[in-house]
Amino acid sequence: MPRFRQVPSLSLVALALLAACYAGGPFVTLWRIGRALEAGDVAVLQGAIDWNAVRQGLKDDITEGLIGLPPQALASGTALPPFGAGFASALAATAVDRDVTPEALLRVAGARNPAGAAPFAAIVGARFTSPLEFELRLRLPGQDAGEPPLHLRLALRAGGWRLVRVWIPQDLMDLAAARA
């Protein structure tokens, strides 16, 4: 008796395609950000990154003492010396609002990487933390294996993946300040 091979239904093929797009979406967004950094494309950076969310996350890290802005970034925000944690946090928030922009990211990326170099050296780890969030850790060019990697969170919003949170190790903050 002949056996018939069952052809996958169109719905299964569509479901598999949708799952592949979903799982690959964060990597495509990361690739778009990398290409925008190489090309100096501010418009792509504005669309792929939720700048308000990224700034707020950095302010939270500074307030919690997880990272500190380089002294020259704080000093350029005001002529008054910092005299308390609240005042220092306010200075840091002002510096983050002023300095965390697509244009500043392009300047730092350009200073860090020679022309034609990839903005990311290696993905150290990547995982879905929920159906709508994806986190990854990146080692940047020139970073040693013992140094903490850059930690990013992407979220699925309005039908697309966007970068919404960045945890920057202090050594990268210091390096960016030295080269900017």
Average pLDDT over residues 66-85: 52
C-alpha triplet 141, 143, 149: angle, nearest 5°:
100
- How many helices (H) and strands (E) the chain has is answered by 7, 4
pLDDT at residue 54 is higher than 80: yes
DSSP code of residue 133: E
What is the second-level CATH architecture of the domain 25-179? Answer: Roll (3.10)
Structure tokens at 169: 């190790």
pLDDT at residue 63 is higher than 60: yes
**Quick one: pLDDT band at residue 152, thresholds 50, 70, 90?**
very high
For residue 44, which phi and psi values (nearest 5 degrees)? -65, -40
First to last CA, the chain: 75
pLDDT for the residue numbered 85? 57
pLDDT at residue 82 is higher than 80: no
Average pLDDT over residues 130-150: 88
Chain-centroid distance of CA 180 in Å reads: 18
pLDDT for the residue numbered 136? 95
**Residue located via tokens 């697309």:** 160
Q: Please give the single-letter amino acid code of residue 105.
A: L
> For 14-35, how does the pLDDT look when each residue is reduced to its tens digit (9 = 90+)?
899 999 999 999 999 999 998 9
